[in-house]
Structure 1
Amino acid sequence: MIDRYSPKEIADIFSDQSRFATWLEVEILATEAWATLGVVPAEHAKAVRIQAPSIDASFVREVNEREQVTNHDVAAFVDVVQSKIGFPWGSWIHYGLTSSDVVDTSLCLMMTRALDVVIIASEQLLETLVDRSFLYFRTPMLGRTHGMAAEPTTFGNKLALWALQVNRDLARLRSAREVIAVGKLSGAVGTYSNVDPFVESYVCNRLGLRNVPATQVIARDRHAQVLYSLTALASSIETFATEIRHLQRTEVQEAEEYFSQGQKGSSAMPHKRNPILAERLVGMSRIMRGYLVSALEDVALWHERDISHSSVERVVVPDAFSLALYMTKKFDGLISHLVVYPEKMLENIDRTLGLVFSQPILLALVASGLSRDEAYVIVQRCAHKAWDSKIPFAQVLAEDPEVSLSEADLVSAMDLQVALKNVRKTFDCLLLELDLTDEKRKELTSKLDS
């Protein structure tokens, strides 16, 4: 991943130094497991840990240089580690193992650690969305379907729905963590032909992983599930960012990204304040879906394994985590500083001339005794006349001889507060789903009751 979009937390987890350090820990733990079984002399296992090399830039260079000879990264790594530890102790490194025992277990561990980072960031995003949704709980705005005016909603309701979606994303991320927090040290085809099953249990237990049956490799449906959870999160962010882009349009102008002092929206047009971050996030989601397709392609391997997945994962796994974390943190900042214009939201409702209340009028006419189709034809005719003539909908209805509703009926049917009387339901559902402290739950509930 290019530095521009590469958060340090993820870059550090998947760096060469971190990868080799994880490989080394697997190798050392395996040697200690063999010592527990009495296969490796205890003093040799102790010497392996004490004399294990420091994994620094110099070590990485040595492994890379050795790989030019071996044309095999794990073999090069083992050669360098053994030479650093010395004979006879270093000879026990990689005893009974195959490359994937080390590589797959390490990759799963690194992916688990990376998921922990993304989960923490997603929890922060969820908290931000919840707080902002309750802030705008009663802020009316125009609901739109097909890009057209529909019925009133509230900006808080929109954000609460986003919070519910991120909460589902979090559930997917946590489930993926459970699926990927595994390891295997079962040999060349997964039959423990040259390694005692105890070694696998010992190593995985100390790494905080669950040992699972495997071929030579851990099944790649697990990795694909992780990539799906990250891509689902990215798609959610894309959904929200797309909405913000629409709300920031000149003719809508209901909300916009914060525009900082000294910022420039265009090199040519000084008046411009563009939704550049929202647009960036939308673009990144497209990349994430490509990574997911690659991960799904990796699921089907030949027999007990082939290596076609390896080159793919070296790119898509760290890059997907980098983008997922970048997007989550950036969108959290976007929402935290989003500039909202409640008065413009009301103005856009008013611009519909009352057409957003066509359904309550329809229902009132049905309740008065008309068939639904009769009522629909009348309301549709009046709505089209109001819009085409730029006359308030209520006036057109009042003047139509087929509308058998009193002035009081019209006022009640076109009452904004009546239209929004049940919007609290979304927030009640949100409170039920969230894992909140009693104090936080009380604070949010009080905002609904005020």
Structure 2
Amino acid sequence: MIERYTRKEFKELWSDLRKFQLWLKVELAVCRAWHKKGKIPLTALTEIEKRTKVDEKTIERINYYERIYKHDVLAFVSAISEQIPEYSHYFHMGLTSSDVVDTALALQIKEALSLILQTVEKILQKLKELALREKKTLMMGRTHGVHAEPMTLGLKFLSWYEEMKRNKERLLRALENISYGKLSGAVGTYSNLDPEVERLALEELGLKVEPVSTQIVPRDRHAEVMWALAQTATSLERFATEIRHLQRTEVGELQEPFKEGQRGSSAMPHKKNPIHAERICGLARLIRSYLITSLENVVLWHERDISHSSAERIILPDATTALDYILNLFLEILDGLVIDRERMKENINLSFGLYASSKILVMLMEKGVPRDQAYEMVQRCAMKSWNEKIPFYISLTEDEKVSQYLTPDEIKKAIDPWSFLQHLENIYSRVFQNNL
């Protein structure tokens, strides 16, 4: 991922330094397991643990060998072996490259998901706060971008909160599902290894044993991670798109934060654009595109090749880094979100009370008017109100047929925006289960 959209934690996590450090961590865990099995003497293990390291000089040696070998794991093994020449025959003993790469990759993905989940938790707390604070902030609910019926801003945030809860569950499942390693050799048969060595090493690393591995850990696990990342990014795009719509000049109900000194346009000094929400939308599309590649990585020749490897070197760092970035960007938007409550009230009145058409329709049906006839009556009054730009209340009370069934007081109560929200508390109690 480019520097512009990379936070420090993820730059470090997906660096070559961190990758090779994790490779060494896996190798040392295997050495300790071999020691427990009596294959590596304590004196040798002690020296291996003390002398092996990965720093910038080590990476230079790895790069040197890779230019010759065209194989990064062999280059890594050779570079580390230089640090322990008399004990190098114990290093990488019985392992195949993917034993190290896949096991270390699981550790990297676990760390990435853990960092992402920390931010998700902050977003959940902020959305809960906003949902409760704006619980009774009236605004117009829209369908197809057109006025529908009144709702509250709190309900909008409550919807986002619930969706982010589901994303948290998806990410947690992905974290659980990726927490597997394999140290089982070239085709997963332990031809030069001992299953007990695998169990001991993975236990030390905090991973579970892949029940049936091939040369690699099966890639459906990684595809599930990518699905959770893509779905979370898609949710953020949904929220950001709504903020963008509500920031439009003609709506003007929400506005993402605009800090002192910030500029919105090179040509128009008055501009305050929803650039952060738009950036979230753009990067969400990128993350979703990686899901296709991740699914295609599941299919390998004879269940074991590395056609997935080149793609994963891009999509896993990029997707996790981009999601981390837009999660934090969304949190920044929420923290500084500008809410124009007066504009929300003004916008409710733009459609002359026509939002009450469904309630008037039901009231007429309850009075015994056949549905089609009731629909025609309400629609006629609604069109009159819209075309003549008069309150819906007036067109209803002046209509002879409607007046036969509904009194002016009944109509007035139906048009009251709060009459649509009598079950607001019920919705909130379902979400928070009476534990606010």
> TM-score range, shorter-chain basis?
over 0.9
Secondary structure of the 1:142 match is strand
Residue in 2 that maps onto 1:416: 417
Alpha-carbon distance, 1:85 to partner:
1.5
Residue in 2 that maps onto 1:193: 191
State which of 100, 104, 122 in structure 1 corresponds to 2:98: 100
Contact 2:137–2:154 at 8 Å: present in 1 too?
A: yes
1:296 aligned partner, one-letter code: L
**Matches of 1:199 and 1:8, distance apart in 2:** 35
Residue in 2 that maps onto 1:21: 21
Residue in 2 that maps onto 1:31: 31
**Matches of 1:112 and 1:173, distance apart in 2:** 10
Residue in 2 that maps onto 1:225: 224
Contact 1:136–1:154 at 8 Å: present in 2 too?
A: yes
Instruction: Spell out, residue by residue over 1:353-402, the C-alpha distance to the aligned partner (whole angstroms, 9 max, x if none).
Output: 00001011001111111011110111011111110110111100111111
The TM-score, its normalising length taken from structure 1, stands at 0.95
**1:375-394 correspondence runs (5 A):** 375-394=374-393
Contact 1:140–1:155 at 8 Å: present in 2 too?
A: yes
**1:318-357 correspondence runs (5 A):** 318-357=317-356
Residue in 1 that maps onto 2:246: 247
**Matches of 2:303 and 2:415, distance apart in 1:** 67
Alpha-carbon distance, 1:42 to partner:
2.3
**Matches of 1:174 and 1:408, distance apart in 2:** 53
Say whether 1:166 aligns with 2:167: no
**Matches of 1:382 and 1:329, distance apart in 2:** 48
1:352 aligned partner, one-letter code: S
Gap runs ≥5 in structure 2:
none
Secondary structure of the 1:351 match is helix
2:431 aligned partner, one-letter code: L
Residue in 2 that maps onto 1:256: 255
Contact 1:32–1:45 at 8 Å: present in 2 too?
A: yes
Contact 1:160–1:426 at 8 Å: present in 2 too?
A: no
Gap runs ≥5 in structure 1:
434-440, 445-450
**Matches of 1:286 and 1:425, distance apart in 2:** 35
Runs of 4+ in 1 over 4 A off after TM superposition: none
**1:84-99 correspondence runs (5 A):** 84-87=83-86, 89-99=87-97
**Matches of 1:141 and 1:286, distance apart in 2:** 29
Residue in 2 that maps onto 1:175: 173
**Matches of 1:356 and 1:168, distance apart in 2:** 31
**Matches of 1:311 and 1:211, distance apart in 2:** 24
Secondary structure of the 1:251 match is coil
2:320 aligned partner, one-letter code: F
Alpha-carbon distance, 1:432 to partner:
2.9
Secondary structure of the 1:143 match is strand
**Matches of 1:306 and 1:333, distance apart in 2:** 42
Secondary structure of the 1:90 match is helix
Contact 2:140–2:347 at 8 Å: present in 1 too?
A: yes
1:424 aligned partner, one-letter code: E
**Higher mean C-alpha displacement, 413-422 vs 389-398:** 413-422
**Matches of 2:426 and 2:5, distance apart in 1:** 38
**Matches of 1:219 and 1:31, distance apart in 2:** 25
Residue in 2 that maps onto 1:427: 428
Aligned length: 433
Fraction of identical pairs, as percent: 44
Alpha-carbon distance, 1:16 to partner:
0.6
**Matches of 2:229 and 2:383, distance apart in 1:** 45
**Matches of 1:198 and 1:283, distance apart in 2:** 47
Contact 2:29–2:205 at 8 Å: present in 1 too?
A: no
Contact 1:189–1:304 at 8 Å: present in 2 too?
A: no
The TM-score, its normalising length taken from structure 2, stands at 0.98
Residue in 2 that maps onto 1:43: 43
Instruction: Spell out, residue by residue over 1:147-190, the C-alpha distance to the aligned partner (whole angstroms, 9 max, x if none).
Output: 11100000000000000000000000000000001110000000
1:23 aligned partner, one-letter code: W
Contact 2:215–2:305 at 8 Å: present in 1 too?
A: no
**Matches of 1:258 and 1:51, distance apart in 2:** 52
2:209 aligned partner, one-letter code: N
